[in-house]
Structure 1
Amino acid sequence: MTGFLAAVLAATVGAQAPGDGADQRRRLVEQKIRLVDILINSPAARGAAEGHEADARALIEQGHQAVDDARKALADGRFDEAAKLADDALRSVSSAARRMSSGEGALSESAQRKNLQDLGDQVGMYRSSIEELAKDPQKGTGAKALLRRVDGLTAESKQLAEAGRLGEAGKKMAEAYKTAVEELSRLRAGQEVLLSLKFDTPADEYAYEKKRFASNEIMVDMMIAEGRAAGDKRRLVDGFVEEGRRLGTQAEEQAKTGQHAEAVKLMEQASAQLVRALQSMGVPVF
């Protein structure tokens, strides 16, 4: 969870619902619920659950339950109860955020290594495209410079990982990914982008699309943390992200039943929503 989102939480927790109208009270509760959803569904929160960090996981689960109850109370018009439940949910996920950012309940080593590997795989895909562009007579110089930057960041990430500093390694690899995505998109502005990938099975293709979705989620979190979704733009970004996660959940359900071809299509649609979120924040991602 980013420090930016944790700061938003700190400013929101404990806020009192205005008493001059049901619409205002409803909007405040809905805002809190959206914040909880963003934090609960962030890559860091999911990593805590997958990595079996008991304290952080328990707090996130408490947040899940409280926000579900808040939705029910809101639907029934019980605004005071909904506001209290939303605050409870915010406190839970805020506590989880503090634990993970301070090292308490931090991601397990296996979870951190998996996140690092997934990001590295995505960087590798973009690196291949940069190498192709380096052969272009007009844009080759810029592509070669970008390749050196990406390789430098990747090398730093690997050194940090070898030294056991996995958290720092993940941040460095995320920086490599962000650099590759943004700069390659700028270099290729006006060009048709074709990515030719071959997979042995639909399950392999789904696994790739799932990693791509997760990487885009990390990118969205990074852009929000940089303040690129300020003001009214945040609602637009949140809408794209929520729809992407809804489609991603549907894809996961399809994959669990062995319908990987259908799951791939859904996950591609889910990633497209995150791409729209990134584009709305000024990231020229393709």
Structure 2
Amino acid sequence: MMPQSAWLSRVALAGSAVFALAGLGLAGEVELGQKLQALARLLASPTAAQIDQQGAPQAQDKLAKARALKDMADVARRQGKIGEAEQQAGEALRLVSEATVLASWRQAPIDARRARYRDLADGIAAYRDSFDEAARAKGPAAARLLDRQRLADLLAKADSHAATQRWDEANAALETALVLVENATIDLRNNDTVVYTQSFQTPRDEFRFESERYAGTFGLVQQRLKDERLAPEARRRAQSLIADAENQRSQALGLAGNGDYEKASRVLEEAQKRLLDAAQALGAL
């Protein structure tokens, strides 16, 4: 079995690689090919193999979906459907990133859990610095993409748990915070054409925004599902709502693949509502 320190380093490197790819804003057939090659390397990496073997079920599911989307993107590219392939490749990259965040550390020794806490805190600080730098360049409206009060609450919760050596709970709070700040940063860097008052220049811009909003909420809900203290009825209701949301998201991706971004955004908004209902059922809101 790989030492936890090595596993942690590989997760951190994989997360950095995914973020770097997301920040490139790649477009066009040549650049799409480069993105798909990089995605293939990530999906075949030791980090992905470790998640497949020992990761949380939610992380394994995300990798499986990322692989399926990568295959779909390859087919779309061969058929000349570059826009569809770009959408699928971008979604696959987000899923790989989320899978590394969701990788389970519940069985790790105390020292590894403490190290995980420090690395998560460092990662959050790095993403927050990156967000602040980009937001300063884009103006005050862009800064509102990050829910700073929610972030502060999560960090305070993590600090409180860490003070009593409750590393699982502390790391769960930091993992949720990392998803929050990571998605805000990627949203800010990738959506240069979005008008940040949430009016959009094109239907495709709106769909991209809704996709990333969905990904952030999905990460939050998956974190809450890891809590073994959840009431069975709350877990069942949330899982049913999540299944409905994922079905709607699949429909939205199909519509977007056919170029109907306006209708795809409406379907994805409904999926987001299902996720918010799931988050409320789990006590995350």
Shorter chain as normaliser: what TM range?
0.3 to 0.5
TM-score scaled by structure 2? 0.39
Looking at CA atoms only, which structure, 1 or 2, has the larger radius of gyration?
Answer: 1
